[in-house]
Amino acid sequence: MTVEHPALALRGLAKRFDGTIAVAGVDLDVPAGSFYGLLGPNGAGKTTTLSMAVGLLRPDAGSAQVLGHDVWQDPVTAKRLLGVMPDGVRLFDRLTGAELLAYNGLLRGMDPAVVDQRAAELLDVLALGDAGRTLVVDYSAGMKKKIGLACALLHGPRLLVLDEPFEAVDPVSAALIRDILTRYAAGGGTVVFSSHVMEVVERLCSHVAILAQGVIKRVGTIDEVRGGRSLEQVFVEVVGGRTATGEELSWLSR
């Protein structure tokens, strides 16, 4: 009997920066084939959690497995199965989009002919073909997101982990990214992405986890987490925060 591993399994992940506890013990199972949203306010620990989950940041404690392969003990296998778009897309940006994709593909040991063919297709689908000889450093923020996504997809990973893929992206590009991710998930891939945008998560995701102050406050399928309400209502209730009384900033009124 074969054991079905979750696409991503996090156990007790924790990270502290100096005096700040960024992530305080996160357990999460992302079922294979799911579209998983990681929601949380600024500073909740989303980027830190995802960075540890994909092997970019060493945790103080805990483990991360991609389809049963430990990210820290068996990184080559785990990273072969994984496509990552990190926050702020730290790219080698003195290259054109095509050069960056070629660099990524060859670094992964892919056949150069396959890299060329897939790179051309990705640039075309993501509407980056027109950027031609423009260096990635001169791309707009939205274009950088798209080339980051192309780099994450190039080797045909089974799991995609994306940090804020819709941030700084215009509606046309956002729709394009949504379509590509939806097709990828329909084809058997698993997507995990972080976001603050309820509407995107509600529209796309089968599952959601709400992270606040470094811990998971709610987790489950979208319907389980919503419990008949809107995701925004649940989010605000879980995360709390201050409400304006109307007295503040009175000097702004004329």
Ligand X SMILES: Nc1ncnc2c1ncn2[C@@H]1O[C@H](COP(=O)(O)OP(=O)(O)OP(=O)(O)O)[C@@H](O)[C@H]1O
Closest CA to 160 of 70, 46, 30: 30
Q: Which of 7, 9, 48, 64 binds ligand X (CB under 6 A)?
A: 48
What is the C-alpha separation between 34 and 128, in angstroms, rounded?
28
Count of residues near ligand X by CB under 6 A: 11
The binding track of 1-30 with respect to ligand X, each residue x by CB under 6 A or -, is ----------------x--x-x--------
Measure Cα distances from 74 to 68, 70, 85, 196 in Å. Answer: 10, 5, 20, 32
Which of left, alpha, beta for 23 (phi over 0: left; psi -120 to 50: alpha)?
A: beta
Question: Cβ(39)–Cβ(195) under 8 Å?
Answer: yes
Dihedral sign, CA of 21, 242, 232, 149?
A: negative
Rounded least distance, CB 148 to ligand X, Å:
15
Rounded least distance, CB 26 to ligand X, Å:
11
- Which one of the spans 39-47, 131-139, 183-191, 230-238 is the region binding ligand X (CB under 6 A)? 39-47
Question: Cβ(9)–Cβ(31) under 8 Å?
Answer: no
What is the C-alpha separation between 186 and 59, in angstroms, rounded?
32
Q: Which of 47, 65, 96, 190 binds ligand X (CB under 6 A)?
A: 47
Structural tokens at position 70:
């430990």
Q: Which of 37, 45, 83, 157 binds ligand X (CB under 6 A)?
A: 45
Rounded least distance, CB 46 to ligand X, Å:
3
Question: Cβ(194)–Cβ(205) under 8 Å?
Answer: no
Rounded least distance, CB 193 to ligand X, Å:
12
Rounded least distance, CB 167 to ligand X, Å:
9
Rounded least distance, CB 54 to ligand X, Å:
13
Nearer to ligand X, 101 or 191 (CB): 191
145 touches ligand X by CB under 6 A: no
What is the C-alpha separation between 47 and 109, in angstroms, rounded?
28
- Which one of the spans 2-10, 41-49, 63-71, 168-176 is the region binding ligand X (CB under 6 A)? 41-49
218 touches ligand X by CB under 6 A: no
Q: Which residues bind ligand X (CB under 6 A)?
A: 17, 20, 22, 40, 42-48
